[in-house]
Structure 1
């Protein structure tokens, strides 16, 4: 019996049967993968939807052959890169780039004595003749309690006031800074954006309104001056406000009185009172508050008795009294038309002796 798959008449002459008839059709692997069979639902079969058995493949141009997982990953990377660029060039509302460079402006005013400088009556009690109202050290700073402002909380204001108080102690009351030349404790409070200016002021002080170290710290030349007592009398106050919505500002205005004698002088040697007024303006952003650092942006320093002819940029230069009294020439007349003299370098007259 013949093969039932063969036609009754037999295989046509010259033909090769069913096998040869479809030999030219090649179902390679890529063709099979590209063909997506769509299984029709019962409703589609009843409705006679037999027009198309495959679902068309969506083409995405050059990305058409990329697997969907890889395409999704590429899209996520592009979105992350776009976000990084956006946030890198866009500052959040209410913030700005942190200040750098020479931010502190310093005004130094020497106060020349109106008469001969005489020593205190009792070296063991040098502040006996001082007016009422002065306190010892930090008591005289009169640091207020923190209170919230429009954009800063009570806790943030309290942190700023505490940082300012500790800075004033390090820069105006500590003997290591006053007569030992130490500056590291003061520098620790300075923000990174101002540290280069601070370092330049210490290394090469000059009265150019930006690089006088005495704008940052009260200091006397240890080769010339010694403290008769570590006690410093202080009177003054602090004021809190805002420079802008992201900047807290504290202004301090204090007068410090120091009891000084000649370096190397024995106990009982003449003691002179040096008076220094410091009006300082500090600013804080929230990064400064978190780091307990500050930006000192303005310093006005009046000191006397001081000679008008000596620079105060590196050290304050007090006139020390002798038993007979020390006479110092008064300030010279200033000619406003003489532009060879810097306008900010002025000398006043110290009230009293």
Structure 2
């Protein structure tokens, strides 16, 4: 209804007024009573006033504006950026307010799983020292997943001699092998990786020869027998891990291999935060190990194997801050001033997963080590 009185916005017509008078005089049941002189006077004055823009009963007093939700965030961000522009020296600290170059922070900006090879290295982080409470602080790994959750397993499909269900199982067991080789607490302390070895084809003679000798001596005389080629392990008398979280990032891919086998390639980077083993040690260092492991789940009708095991086709490792050329068969990170003297090999960003391992190894030295541009 408008301010004029009719629901359609028009005034009462002469015909309707006459009908109203006739029905009122005749006493028609339910007929409205004749409006009083005061009511008619009010009606006349309303007709003479200009029509208001508000609909009937829709008017509300103006409310003060409130900045809510994202509007408040936009205002705060705008003020912060203005401060960065006006105050020298704030630009470097602004990254700590807003997180990395992708707009996320170490605390809450968990990175999406890796589904394909990235096109470049991860954005730079605020150069801050890691602590015992935050061992991945200032590192791209702070946004990576924990443990095996950081290894992306692709959707399965029937490949070679395997059905979709068999491929799915093989992919899961491949990830289990990587976890048993590089994440198991006992293995990291130097114990024999029995769970991982149990997944390797016992009829693959060259690999079994390697596995039988890699853990029998305290010193590695032949680099081809170095247990670090496949397994991550530390010397607990020299180094201990900080907490129980290891950050990982990588993925599995697969295709049909020789003799209809399912060939799986794992390209995974592991980040280990460590301190010296001495009691009270607080300086945190990080060892970064990237592994590319290629294995085949063979057709038992064509290749001699055992159910639930695979054959190793190849394995490549690149390590930074791991004690390059150390012959102990253990990862041996350096701390503090030791690092400048221990650094060997060409510079490399250990978090850059955009470079294929074949190219990474071309740039590495003979020991497969490098000098990390960041840890």
Scaled by the length of structure 1, the TM-score of the pair is 0.57
Match of 1:278 among 291, 294, 298: 291
Listed as ranges, the matches of 1:30-41 within 5 Å are: none
Structure 1: stretches of 5+ with no match in the other structure: 1-117, 334-342
Structure 2: stretches of 5+ with no match in the other structure: 1-126, 347-364
Aligned to 2:326: 310
Aligned to 1:295: 311
Aligned to 1:160: 170
Change (3 A) 1:120 1:171: farther
Aligned to 2:273: 259
Match of 2:134 among 120, 125, 133: 125
Instruction: Give CA-to-partner distance per residue, 1:17-41, whole Å, 9 cap, x none.
Output: xxxxxxxxxxxxxxxxxxxxxxxxx
Change (3 A) 1:141 1:228: same
Measure the CA separation in 2 of the matches of 1:330 and 1:225. 18
Question: Does the alignment pair 1:221 with 2:230?
Answer: no
Please report the RMSD computed on the Cα atoms of aligned residues, expressed in angstroms.
2.8
Match of 1:197 among 210, 223, 226: 210
Please give the secondary structure, in 2, of the residue aligned with 1:349: strand
Say whether the 8 Å CA contact 2:151–2:268 is kept in structure 1: yes
Q: Which has the larger radius of gyration?
A: 1
Higher helix share: 2
Instruction: Give CA-to-partner distance per residue, 1:190-239, whole Å, 9 cap, x none.
Output: 22124333111222474746322112211111221111111110011111
Say whether the 8 Å CA contact 2:242–2:273 is kept in structure 1: yes
Say whether the 8 Å CA contact 1:119–1:325 is kept in structure 2: no
Change (3 A) 1:270 1:329: closer
Listed as ranges, the matches of 1:1-353 within 5 Å are: 120-131=129-140, 133-193=143-203, 194-204=207-217, 206=220, 208=222, 210-266=224-280, 269-287=282-300, 291-311=307-327, 314-319=329-334, 321-322=335-336, 326-331=339-344, 344-353=366-375
Say whether the 8 Å CA contact 2:264–2:295 is kept in structure 1: yes
Please give the secondary structure, in 1, of the residue aligned with 2:312: strand
Measure the CA separation in 2 of the matches of 1:197 and 1:121. 37
